[in-house]
Amino acid sequence: MTEPAVGLDAIEIWTGKCKLDLANTFAPARDEDPEKYTKGLGLRASSFPDTYEDIVTMGANAAKRLMDREGLTPADIGRIDVATESAFDNSKPVSTYVAGCLEQVYEGDFRHANKGERKFACVSGTQSIDDAYNWIRAGRNRGRAALVIATDTALYARGDPGEATQGAGAVAMLVDVDPSIVTLSTEQGIGSMDETDFLKPNQQFPSVDGKRSVQVYLSRMREALEDYESVAGRVGVEDFVFAPFHTPFPGMVRKAAVLAYRHVTRGTEIEDALEPEIGRQPREDDFDGRESFETNMRDYVDALSGTERYRTWYGETVEPTLGIAREVGNWYTGSVHIARVSALLAALENDRNIGGETLLVGSYGSGAQAEIHAETVREGWREGVAAADPFDRLAERHSLSFAEYEHIHDAHNHEVETEIEAFTEPNGEFIHAGWGRMNERKYEYVE
């Protein structure tokens, strides 16, 4: 018996409705060179939630748009999993709030849908897709689809180096059999170790060792790739059309991509072809100590990143995944999922026929775990991807002055009491409308 193809049938993106221009607003206020942001980190802007937005409204708004477009009712959904690292409750999951919102506007309810909340920093969106995939493949779904929502307000304490990489938004994804956009590989690779690089021990804003987190990302990603290859066979650079990776900021992916390219070209005709220009890859056995091996490897990787062959591959396979991230910053759990949409939108724009082609998807969460799997683009990908295009809505965001940014940051800081007016007008969306008697959050749908 052949197993059913399971994957992403629909995707919707909801951006926080404000934005902070990093080069023109943030950098001057911090007295820094704008190119640190545009060139170094690779970011133009961050998305921020308006005063009436939070992880529930953004998730519910993305889900409603998806359900409306797909003509779904609550009876069609057997599972709602929310992935977030911005939760405000240690017991009641965000998915119950999202279901409560959706039940305000649809006939029927989610009484028989399994709901949960997944936590493992930014990798939990992918883990939730994995859970949905397993649930469907196990035959427990009774013909119903799973709704996976990755939603975060990725805020850092003011003055933290991570402040430049903030962001806020949600990605809703429908996981189903015979999907329209991509199917997921059964094969997956994991790289996972107990790490102290980024954590929120019962606090809203993270404690971050930023430089270490970059190193941990690279190490765990390499292990996940090796683990993936141990089950799927050796990966080659020609095997996949795009490589959407977790993108806390595009500069992170730039670092990871060249290391991945070095890894997968080792011992191949590409290494041979590049030899006259940059030599062969250093082999540890040829060096007396680890240190001199690492220095030589760093030099090799630097030289590799400047070759025409690498730059062409990067421009075609990785650069297209960064289009949305550049405009929105880090969406934590949603980040790798907007990278996938960016790549598919770029293919659409260039009228490329990528049905049947493979994506190599790399997710990462601090703490730390990386996951790699492959996805096959379905023949019907175009329509679903075109519908998920967020660029018009990104252009409509309210552009914050630096003073407004500080206000909005305070408005979302759980420790600060603020009274500020919203910058935008809610229109056909869920809003956070206050608190109830047990300190629960209340939500309303505004026509």
Catalytic residues: 85, 122, 246
Q: Does 213 bind ligand COA (CB under 6 A)?
A: yes
Q: Does 259 bind ligand COA (CB under 6 A)?
A: no
Q: How many residues bind ligand COA (CB under 6 A)?
A: 20
* Cα–Cα distance measured from residue 268 to residue 386, given in angstroms and rounded to the nearest whole number: 37
- Given the structure tokens 């390499």, which residue do they identify? 222
Q: Does 39 bind ligand COA (CB under 6 A)?
A: yes
Q: How far is the CB of 196 from ligand COA (least distance, A)?
A: 13
Q: How far is the CB of 246 from ligand COA (least distance, A)?
A: 7
Stretch that binds ligand COA, among 38-46, 67-75, 181-189, 342-350 (CB under 6 A): 38-46
SS3 of 236, please? coil
Q: Does 248 bind ligand COA (CB under 6 A)?
A: yes
Rg (the chain; Cα; Å): 22
Q: Does 164 bind ligand COA (CB under 6 A)?
A: yes
Q: Does 252 bind ligand COA (CB under 6 A)?
A: yes
Q: How far is the CB of 55 from ligand COA (least distance, A)?
A: 19
What is the β-pairing status of strands 369-377 and 167-177? unpaired
Given 161, 306, 355, 356, the residue binding ligand COA (CB under 6 A)? 161
For ligand COA, the closer of residues 157 and 214 by Cβ is 214
Q: Does 304 bind ligand COA (CB under 6 A)?
A: no
Site residues for ligand COA, 192-211, by CB under 6 A, read 208, 210-211
* Cα–Cα distance measured from residue 157 to residue 397, given in angstroms and rounded to the nearest whole number: 23
Contact criterion met (CB below 8 Å) for 204 and 158:
no
Q: Does 363 bind ligand COA (CB under 6 A)?
A: no
Q: How far is the CB of 368 from ligand COA (least distance, A)?
A: 9
Q: Does 36 bind ligand COA (CB under 6 A)?
A: yes
For ligand COA, the closer of residues 56 and 208 by Cβ is 208
Residue 235 Ramachandran class (φ > 0 left, ψ -120 to 50 alpha, else beta): beta
Q: Does 33 bind ligand COA (CB under 6 A)?
A: yes
Q: Does 245 bind ligand COA (CB under 6 A)?
A: no
Q: Does 251 bind ligand COA (CB under 6 A)?
A: yes
Q: Does 217 bind ligand COA (CB under 6 A)?
A: yes
What is the β-pairing status of strands 198-199 and 207-208? antiparallel
Helices (H), 180-268: 210-232, 250-265
**Is the sign of the CA dihedral 251, 254, 259, 260 positive or negative?**
positive
The closest residue (CB) to ligand COA is 40
Contact criterion met (CB below 8 Å) for 373 and 361:
yes
Tokens of 191: 């790289």
Tokens of 231: 């089950």
User: 365: buried, middle or exposed (CB in 10 Å: 19+, 13-18, 0-12)?
Assistant: buried
* Cα–Cα distance measured from residue 120 to residue 84, given in angstroms and rounded to the nearest whole number: 8
Distance of CA 50 to the CA centre of its chain: 21
Residues engaged in binding ligand COA (CB under 6 A): 33, 35-36, 39-41, 161-162, 164-165, 208, 210-211, 213-214, 217, 248, 251-252, 366
